[in-house]
Amino acid sequence: MLDQTTATITERTALKINPAKTCQPVGAMYAALGVHGCLPHSHGSQGCCAYHRSQLTRHFKEPIMASTSSFTEGSSVFGGMANLQQAISTIFEMYDPEIIAVHTTCLSETIGDDIPTIIGKCQIEGKVPEGKVIVHCNTPSYVGSHVTGFSNMVKGFVKYLATSTGRRSEAVNIIPGWVEPSDMAEIKRYAEAFRLAAIMLPDTSSVLDAPTTGEHSFYPKGGTTVAQIRAMGDARHTLALGAWASSAGAELLEKQCQVPHEVLDLPIGLAATDRFVSALAKLTGTAVPQAIEDERGRLVDVISDMHQYLGGKTVAIWGDPDQVIALTEFCRDMDMKPVHVLTGGHGQAFEARIKEILADSVPDANIKQQGDLFLMHQWIKNRPVDLMIGTTYGKFISRAEDIPLVRYGWPILDRVGHSYFASVGYTGGLRLATQIITAIQERQDRDAPDHAFELVL
Ligand code: SF4
């Protein structure tokens, strides 16, 4: 498996092998699922929608509801207006969502379907029932990644719904970035600990980690409500977590409704969580709650107790830009050496930020935006590492090179737990640190000769 990967690296500009990203509509669908009573709608052919739904289902182990315009050859030639109009009528009649979130696909983008005009026509023709809403975003998959799609869908909700009444509320908007449902719940817990009135968009907690109750509900109880999204325009501040996934939505809120915003890293690891906690303390004018201080202390305790296993260990990290930036900083802070760092996403700012994080500890690290896993494998062949941290797709490299893999990011298709146990915040950092330490200790046990096979590590 992966036997053909060579150590000789050739410059490639027009070819990706084993991409480290997926396409935009997956992200748009994920963001839309974080809105209460929302049915994501894929304006394109059935195959796209089936792929996006199945990837989300495989990652979350939950059935994913989404509809499609079901393009045929005729739609490809004449455009998809009739399909979308029919779809909107059918969806409201049969599935009764509060809101439909339409995203485009490669095909409808290439045709050039004008979605706002089609939505407007449906409204004029009475196809949108009283009190129901349709929003849309463009997600051409030949640019960007699933994170771009997530960002575009958040922008779509803001554009269509957020309004300023002229009266500022006490609420603070949080755009949580591309994180798990468990992480979104944890971010809300932090806001509650500071008694902050937060509106979070999107919020997939209690949607994609909803419990089995014995009764099927098409629209689980979680998700940001349409009323909450409208109220975001009156909030006093927006915290955007993760520049790639969240800053565009926050910028639009500022432009459209004059809500000031700040962009923070995803609160993964010690330093990034410190910055998030400081921002919450500043916004509320309160001290950090003792319970949060204690959680921080536990994380610091474990990192320092386990330094002998972490210090100097080399690691390869790949995934979404926001996640990789926070993970790289966390590994550096645990005295590990991230020697290969790659994202499938785009933006020179990614490389600049990773260079800055590793300037003192690993100045010669390999860093790449718009990279792929073939390149990551080649880097590892040239400079082997102690540990790999990234998505399920890395398991083939892990097997080929016999290197332990800690699964992190999108997607994880072959394990459970990620959607139920947070990795943000101090307790999330503790979980992540223990996963890393466990992977290193298991390898140490596996490789130890009998005389060095210890009961206590
Ligand atoms: S890349 Fe384009 S054609 Fe392929 S699944 Fe995504 S939206 Fe559909």
Q: Quick: pLDDT tens for 261-293.
A: 999 999 999 999 999 999 999 999 999 999 999
What distance in angstroms lies between residue 14's CA and the mean position of ligand 1's atoms?
A: 18
Q: Which structure tokens are listed for 133? A: 């809403």
CA-nearest residue for atom 2, ligand 1, is 106
Q: How do residues 103-126 score in pLDDT, each as one tens digit?
A: 999 999 999 999 999 999 999 999
Q: How do residues 75-99 score in pLDDT, each as one tens digit?
A: 988 999 999 999 999 999 999 999 9
Residue with tokens 């797709």: 393
User: Candidates 16, 23, 51: which one to mutate for ligand 1, based on the most atoms within 8 Å of Cβ?
Assistant: 23
**What is the strand order of the sheet 261-264 is part of?**
198-200, 172-175, 237-241, 261-264
For the chain, first and last CA: distance in Å? 33
Contact (CB, 8 A) for 137 and 204: no
Contact (CB, 8 A) for 102 and 136: yes
The 3-state DSSP class for residue 5 equals coil
What distance in angstroms lies between residue 438's CA and the mean position of ligand 1's atoms?
A: 38
Contact (CB, 8 A) for 220 and 207: yes
Q: Which structure tokens are listed for 206? A: 């209690």
Composition of the chain by helix, strand, coil, percent to 5 = 50, 15, 40
Return the pLDDT at 50: 98
Locate the ligand 1 atom nearest the alpha carbon of residue 105 and give its number: 7
User: Candidates 51, 139, 143: which one to mutate for ligand 1, based on the most atoms within 8 Å of Cβ?
Assistant: 51
What distance in angstroms lies between residue 52's CA and the mean position of ligand 1's atoms?
A: 9
Locate the ligand 1 atom nearest the alpha carbon of residue 23 and give its number: 6
The CA distance from 412 to 379, in Å, is 22
With a 6 Å cutoff on the Cβ, whether 106 touches ligand 1 is: yes
With a 6 Å cutoff on the Cβ, whether 105 touches ligand 1 is: yes
Return the pLDDT at 76: 87
Q: How do residues 324-370 score in pLDDT, each as one tens digit?
A: 999 999 999 999 999 999 999 999 999 999 999 999 999 999 999 99
Return the pLDDT at 235: 98
The CA distance from 422 to 432, in Å, is 9
Q: What is the mean pLDDT of the chain?
A: 97
Tell me which DSSP letter residue 210 carries. P
Q: Tell me, what amino acid is at 450?
A: D
With a 6 Å cutoff on the Cβ, whether 51 touches ligand 1 is: yes
Tell me which DSSP letter residue 224 carries. B
Tell me which DSSP letter residue 3 carries. T
Q: Which structure tokens are listed for 88? A: 């909107």
The CA distance from 85 to 119, in Å, is 8
With a 6 Å cutoff on the Cβ, whether 25 touches ligand 1 is: yes
With a 6 Å cutoff on the Cβ, whether 396 touches ligand 1 is: no
User: Candidates 41, 105, 138, 143: which one to mutate for ligand 1, based on the most atoms within 8 Å of Cβ?
Assistant: 105
With a 6 Å cutoff on the Cβ, whether 23 touches ligand 1 is: yes
- Residue 443, pLDDT above cutoff 90: yes
pTM: 0.97
Mean pLDDT of 188-214: 96
With a 6 Å cutoff on the Cβ, whether 152 touches ligand 1 is: no
- Residue 1, pLDDT above cutoff 80: no
CA-nearest residue for atom 6, ligand 1, is 23
Q: Tell me, what amino acid is at 205?
A: S
Distant-in-sequence, close-in-space partners of 271: CB < 8 Å, separation ≥ 6: 329, 330, 333
The 3-state DSSP class for residue 55 equals helix
Return the pLDDT at 184: 98
Q: Is the dihedral of CA 152, 345, 21, 140 positive or negative?
A: positive
The 3-state DSSP class for residue 232 equals helix
- Residue 49, pLDDT above cutoff 80: yes
Domains and CATH numbers, the chain: 24-160 (3.40.50.1980), 172-287 (3.40.50.1980), 292-451 (3.40.50.1980)
Return the pLDDT at 217: 84
CA 228, distance to chain mean position in Å, is 21
User: Candidates 41, 68, 109, 141: which one to mutate for ligand 1, based on the most atoms within 8 Å of Cβ?
Assistant: 141
What distance in angstroms lies between residue 1's CA and the mean position of ligand 1's atoms?
A: 27
Percent of the chain surpassing pLDDT 70:
100
- Residue 215, pLDDT above cutoff 90: no
With a 6 Å cutoff on the Cβ, whether 48 touches ligand 1 is: yes
Tell me which DSSP letter residue 218 carries. S
Locate the ligand 1 atom nearest the alpha carbon of residue 139 and give its number: 7
Q: How do residues 402-432 score in pLDDT, each as one tens digit?
A: 999 999 999 999 999 999 999 999 999 999 9
What distance in angstroms lies between residue 141's CA and the mean position of ligand 1's atoms?
A: 6
- Residue 162, pLDDT above cutoff 90: yes
Return the pLDDT at 315: 98
Q: How many helices (H) and strands (E) does the chain have?
A: 18, 13
What distance in angstroms lies between residue 6's CA and the mean position of ligand 1's atoms?
A: 29
- Residue 218, pLDDT above cutoff 90: no
Task: Name the band, by pLDDT with cuts 50, 70 and 90, for residue 438.
Answer: very high
